[in-house]
Structure 1
Amino acid sequence: MAVFDVPLFAEATITLVVIMDPPGTVPVFLSLVGRKTRSTRLAAARQAVLVSLGVITLFAVGGEAILSYLGIGIPALQGAGGLLLLLIALDLLTGRGDAQPEAVEDVNVALVPLGTPLLAGPGAIAATIVFVRQADGHWPSYLALAAAILMVHLVLWACLRFSGLVIKVIKESGIVLLAKIAGLLLAAIAVQLVADAVRGFVSGAS
């Protein structure tokens, strides 16, 4: 009997990388913490990835039980994530987020929206639950899924960790422009999540 499910590892890794989009998180990350010190950026990157890892692991271990107990379906999760991202996007587009106290902003950035729902969003959570179902009680499959989750988060951390190199190129004015672009992209992602949630409710998905 195989001790490691290589096909599941490859499928889960590719799927989660596509959904969580490590390079795509860099503009949002820089728009939120690009003006901070290097140590603050590194701490935010580390905390965001750890939060994402914790959320994904939590739903991998007991996701179906949690959602079932609370009576929450995937469409509701998508809708909540979409509305939360929309609020962050509006702050980026209007510049209101710059008025927040620095300490509070630093904490919020690492936890929300970076850790969740941007990294550990509804799509990644749903995909993880599906892969757990595929594992179907086989330990080699569970081991492969755990390795895939760790691999994806290492890639995420590397992208955020070295995002400071981009700051040296774009400077302060580039960060301002990046914030507006990131806000627009986040708004589009938010609208798509809400649309998916509505579609799920209409079709009766759960």
Structure 2
Amino acid sequence: MNAVLDGTLFLTTFLTLFVIMDPPGTVPVFLALTSTMTAKQRARAARQAVLVAFGVILAFVLFGQGILNFLHISVPALQASGGLLLLLVAMDLLTGKTEEPQPSGKVNVALVPLGTPLLAGPGAIVASMLAVQGSDGSVQDWVAILLAILAVHLSLFLAMRFAGLIHRVLGDGGTILVTRIAGLLLAAIAVQLIADAIQAFIEAA
């Protein structure tokens, strides 16, 4: 009898996405972006962000390669654009703009930039697409990939859902400090994405 799923593919996909999406590392960024929210609003933001990220990843898993081919977009171009978006978010974290109250008409941070591109960023999208391309297209492989994606998003939700406990432990001063550190690290990640994209463009030339 065939196995229900490919265990090796599940573990490989899960670990790859876990490292890229980094659930523990999302906590300081999540706290910074939701610093003006109540505990109830923060819990709702965590749920919305994970649902948005899951939807984006799933859409690219199913239709990503077709979308990129149709629009004539290369993977390095996707990486570079994601890096630029993350760099803008990092600048907001470093300058403290995310700590100001959000006007009622502003975009929900749970959707942008938290859901995408912070969670469902170019790295996670590309890794998910590569997992599909590397599989043999069997039902077992699809089950393994989808369960791995679901497990990572569950980890993300748990990390953000209990971020309020961390906020109470750190206090306002600690949260501001963590915010600045998160902005610096996020800027470094963004620059690395852009550098990798530039290197890929040069090698392809």
TM-score (norm 1): 0.94
Q: 1:130-153: CA deviations, max 9, x gaps? A: 110122221110011111110110
Whether contact under 8 Å (2:10, 2:148) holds in the other structure is: yes
Whether contact under 8 Å (1:86, 1:186) holds in the other structure is: yes
Whether contact under 8 Å (2:131, 2:145) holds in the other structure is: yes
Q: Which consecutive unaligned segments of at least 5 residues does structure 1 have?
A: none
Instruction: Name the counterpart of 2:36.
Output: 35
Instruction: Name the counterpart of 1:56.
Output: 57
- Given the alignment of the two structures, is residue 95 of structure 1 paired with residue 77 of structure 2, yes or no? no
Whether contact under 8 Å (1:47, 1:115) holds in the other structure is: yes
Aligned amino acid, residue 46 of structure 1: R
Match of 2:104, SS? helix
- Given the alignment of the two structures, is residue 120 of structure 1 paired with residue 105 of structure 2, yes or no? no
Q: 1:107-133: CA deviations, max 9, x gaps? A: 0x2112211111111111111111101
Give the Cα–Cα distance (whole angstroms) in 2 for the partners of residues 30 and 188 of structure 1.
19
Instruction: Name the counterpart of 1:153.
Output: 153
Q: CA deviation at 1:106?
A: 6.4
Q: CA deviation at 1:23?
A: 0.1
Q: CA deviation at 1:86?
A: 0.8
Whether contact under 8 Å (2:90, 2:184) holds in the other structure is: yes
TM-score (norm 2): 0.94
Instruction: Name the counterpart of 2:163.
Output: 163
Whether contact under 8 Å (2:36, 2:100) holds in the other structure is: no
Instruction: Name the counterpart of 1:111.
Output: 111
Q: 1:146-194: CA deviations, max 9, x gaps? A: 1111011001100000111101111111122122111111111111111
Alignment RMSD: 1.5
Q: CA deviation at 1:102?
A: 3.7
Q: CA deviation at 1:97?
A: 3.4
Counterparts of 1:173-192 in structure 2, within 5 Å, are: 173-192=173-192
Instruction: Name the counterpart of 1:4.
Output: 5
Match of 1:103, SS? coil
Q: CA deviation at 1:98?
A: 3.8
Whether contact under 8 Å (1:35, 1:172) holds in the other structure is: no
Give the Cα–Cα distance (whole angstroms) in 2 for the partners of residues 105 and 28 of structure 1.
19
Q: CA deviation at 1:100?
A: 5.9
Q: CA deviation at 1:103?
A: 3.1
Instruction: Name the counterpart of 1:22.
Output: 23
Q: CA deviation at 1:101?
A: 3.0
